[in-house]
């Protein structure tokens, strides 16, 4: 065990990288050292962001399976909030690593965070950062605040799993089918199944490495993206039927939006996760650059998803309204009525145009 990994406050601290640059060699070296120098009985806690998506869960569990291969025995993975894994991810390898947030080690020797741009995305688990010997952050949000002792943040990476794969390689952990399936789910989630701009040659090369382990992309995609209960199909019909198109919004680039309430979910006997896929149906709208789904989480509170096709930086809108995300995919927590939430978005759109003179 190094001092770095065992003593709070003495961890190897690397300076936050300049915006846009990926991790430095010093960052990678520090991250590798934080893992390699753990004693045999060290407790390691993996945390991903609240309301976890495929990248959060996939990069965390894939990395966790890699640590297990390295011989780490006291290993937990967790996320804030209710310990419910959304149905599409219930086939992921490594789910046995998951524990409810309430059972997570209070003061582990090492914490590793996945896909969270800031401590606020770790909810009630943020206190583990101060209780830990060292905190390593793996992420790809340009807005990452550098809240770890070691920050492996690459805004050019298509998914956090890209960073996780590189760290596993530097730890000499070979890919096996379990690790590969987790990283593949993460990569396909965040690239929209290789459709988004971040789908570089390097992304396809990584996919090739993952597929070479023998994982079955057809089965995985069907489970993760193309399966939902009949009640969710009916719910989508209703919610899409109330979508509104505002061609004049966003400087004439157009806004399309809809909303779903808890009552909608209850009427169709559905869990909130089914609403995550809604934005993909709404953002198809040809007449709008910006799309939005407002999902009620509790009375007067809404999880808002924003997408753009390129005219608007929706992360600016989300940040202005207390959230975050990427240029073309962002979100925030809205408060008030649906109309108040959408009014707030509409007001921020003109200031978030990427090329206002062409509006
Ligand atoms: P979603 O629409 O939930 O798929 O989220 C799209 C992106 O926005 C994700 O990459 C998140 O990083 C970010 N995001 C969503 N909700 C929030 C939030 N409440 N606070 C900060 N970032 C968020
Ligand atoms: Mn995510
Ligand atoms: Mn991600």
Residues forming beta bridges with residue 74, ordered by sequence position = 43
- Residue 19 reports pLDDT greater than 90: no
Taking CA atoms only, the protein residue closest to ligand 1 atom 6 is: 330
Residue-averaged pLDDT of the chain: 94
Candidate of 145, 331, 344 to mutate for ligand 1, largest count of ligand atoms within 8 Å of Cβ:
331
- Ligand 1 binding pocket mutation candidate from 325, 327, 328, 345 (most atoms within 8 A of CB): 325
Residues whose beta carbon lies within 6 Å of some atom of ligand 1: 53, 141, 279, 305, 323-326, 329-333
| 3-state SS assignment for residue 129 | helix
**Spatial separation of the C-alpha atoms in residues 306 and 315, rounded to whole Å:** 8
> Distance from the CA of 276 to the center of ligand 1, in angstroms?
11
Q: Quick one: average pLDDT of 81-85?
A: 96
Alpha helical stretches, state H, the chain: 3-6, 25-36, 54-69, 127-131, 160-170, 177-190, 201-211, 217-225, 230-241, 262-267, 278-282, 314-320, 338-348
Is the model more confident about 138 or about 21?
138
CA of 7 to the centre of ligand 2 (A): 30
Predicted pLDDT at 12: 45
pLDDT single digits (tens) 253-291: 999 999 999 999 999 999 999 999 999 999 999 999 999
> Of 169, 182, 151, nearest to 77 (Cα)?
182
Task: Give the position, in ligand 1's atom list, of the atom nearest the Cα of 315.
Answer: 8
pLDDT at 21: 86
Q: How far away, in angstroms, is 159 Cα from ligand 3 center?
A: 5
CA–centroid distance, residue 2 to ligand 2 (Å): 31
Res. 214: pLDDT tops 90:
yes
Give residue 275 CA to ligand 3 midpoint distance, Å. Answer: 18
Nearest-ligand number for the alpha carbon of 314: 1
Residue 5 has pLDDT above 60, yes or no: no
Proportion of the chain in helix, strand, coil states, percent, rounded to 5: 45, 20, 40
Give 184 Cα–ligand 3 centroid separation in angstroms.
12
Ligand 1: residue whose CA is nearest its atom 14: 331
Sequence-distant (6+) residues with CB within 8 A of 355 are 311
Distance CA 66, CA 173 (A): 6
The answer to pTM > 0.85 is: yes
Q: What is the pLDDT of residues 146-164, one digit of tens each?
A: 999 999 999 999 999 999 9
Smallest-distance ligand from the CA of 278:
1
Nearest CA to ligand 1 atom 22: 324
The protein residue with its alpha carbon nearest to ligand 1, atom 4, reads 305
Q: What is the CA radius of gyration of the chain?
A: 20
- The pLDDT score that the predictor gives to residue 98 is 98
Q: How much distance in Å is there from the Cα of 252 to the middle of ligand 3? A: 30
Residue 152: which H helix or E strand, with range?
strand 150-153
- Whose C-alpha lies nearest to ligand 1, atom 11? 325
Q: Which pLDDT belongs to residue 359?
A: 47
Please tell me the predicted confidence (pLDDT) of residue 355: 87
Nearest ligand to residue 120 Cα:
1
Nearest bound ligand to the CA of residue 117 = 1
CA–CA separation, 91 vs 93, rounded Å? 6
């Amino acid at each position: 065990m190094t001092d770095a990994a065992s003593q709070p406050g003495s961890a190897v601290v690397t300076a936050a990288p300049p915006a846009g640059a990926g991790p430095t060699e010093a960052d990678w070296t520090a991250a590798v050292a934080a893992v390699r120098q753990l004693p045999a009985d060290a407790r390691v806690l993996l945390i991903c962001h609240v309301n976890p998506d495929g990248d959060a869960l996939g990069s965390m569990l894939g990395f966790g399976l890699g640590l297990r291969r390295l011989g780490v025995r006291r290993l937990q993975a967790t996320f804030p909030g209710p310990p419910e894994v959304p149905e599409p991810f219930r086939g992921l390898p490594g789910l046995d690593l998951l524990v409810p947030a309430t059972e997570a080690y209070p003061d582990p020797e090492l914490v590793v965070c996945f896909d969270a741009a800031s401590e606020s995305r770790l909810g009630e688990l943020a206190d583990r950062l101060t209780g830990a010997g060292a905190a390593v952050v793996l992420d790809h949000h340009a807005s990452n605040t550098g809240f770890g002792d070691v920050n492996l943040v690459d805004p050019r990476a298509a998914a956090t799993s890209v960073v996780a794969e590189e760290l596993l390689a530097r730890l000499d952990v070979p890919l096996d089918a379990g690790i590969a399936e987790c990283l593949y789910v993460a990569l396909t989630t965040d690239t929209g199944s290789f459709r988004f701009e971040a789908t570089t040659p390097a992304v396809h090369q990584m996919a090739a490495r993952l597929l070479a382990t023998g994982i079955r992309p057809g089965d995985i995609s069907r489970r993760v993206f193309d399966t939902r209960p009949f009640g969710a199909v009916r719910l989508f019909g209703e919610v899409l039927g109330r979508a509104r198109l505002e061609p004049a919004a966003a400087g004439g680039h157009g806004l399309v939006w809809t909303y779903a309430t808890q009552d909608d979910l209850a009427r169709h006997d559905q869990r909130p996760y089914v609403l995550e896929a809604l934005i993909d149906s709404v953002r198809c709208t040809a007449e709008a650059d910006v799309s939005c789904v407002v999902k009620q989480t509790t009375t007067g509170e809404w999880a808002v998803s924003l997408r753009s096709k390129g005219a608007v930086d929706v992360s600016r809108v989300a940040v202005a309204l207390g959230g975050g995300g990427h240029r073309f995919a962002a979100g925030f927590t809205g408060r008030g009525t649906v109309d108040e939430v959408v009014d707030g978005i509409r007001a921020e759109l003109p200031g978030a145009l990427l090329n206002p003179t062409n509006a």
